[in-house]
Amino acid sequence: MRIAVTGSIATDHLMTFPGRFVDQLIPDKLDKIALSFLVDSLQIRYGVDTSGVRESAVHHTGRFISTTDADLNHFASFYPGAMVEDTKIDLSDLTERVGPIDLVLIGASDPEAMSSFTRQCREHKIAFAADTSWQLARMEGEQVRDLVDGAAYLFCNEYEAKLTERKSGWADEEITARVAVRVTTLGADGARVDRAGEPPILVPPITGVTPKEPTGAGDGFRAGFLAAIAWGLGLERAAQLGNLMAVQALEAIGPQDYELKPGPLMERFAAVYGPEAAQDLAEHYS
């Protein structure tokens, strides 16, 4: 199975506030928030290999700026930079260069580009996975409905799932009926996989986690989930591997600053999900 990933490359500026955001919020003044947090640390993490990536001659690289508190809640801003040129990308150029694509993950990017990628997938009859993520705040109802409807997979965390329902105007059951597989990450409670007419698959979390910084955990989950799908494993195994990969990012500072060593990974996986589950993965991961 060949998966193409759309999205953006950015430098991450990650800061840590030692207190709790909720302690600084005054309930009857939430319409007039004016806060500044003195942070303890700043970590700057850069993007990935840019081969095969469109480069802009005009705009700066995107920049993600996030402040995380002691509860792992975070406030973040994203400067799109070169991402505004994503609308110029034609997926046909990719398929001509590397061959047929089985699935396109439509990650958070310029909203118009996300709509363009979705339209191209429909035109070329390529399955797509919707990951609206950070861009939900910028999208209106029609845009959200267009990105979600007909997706092979819809990825959201709990908050994004509720925001998707509110912005689309579709109830929980209706969204599930409009996609093949709906995946909701539940943080410390694991993950849930829903399909229309089928009982939900509830996958418990990885235990013994020592969280450091949440940036990249969602990307890690999607990477693990889709890797398992590409290997031909079922939805339960996919969500389990997604949980494992999310924890690797959660326990590191920065979205890519972790090592994936087969031995320790499989031991940890087996301890939570059992030896049979670990064996299913071990046949593909080494």
Which conformational region is residue 186 in: left (phi greater than 0), alpha (psi within -120 to 50 degrees), or beta?
alpha
Say how far apart CA 143 and CA 112 lie, in whole Å. 9
Query: For the sheet containing 62-68, what is the strand order?
Result: 41-45, 10-16, 62-68, 74-79
Catalytic residue (one of 110, 219, 257, 280) = 219
219 is catalytic: yes
Residue numbers annotated as active site: 219
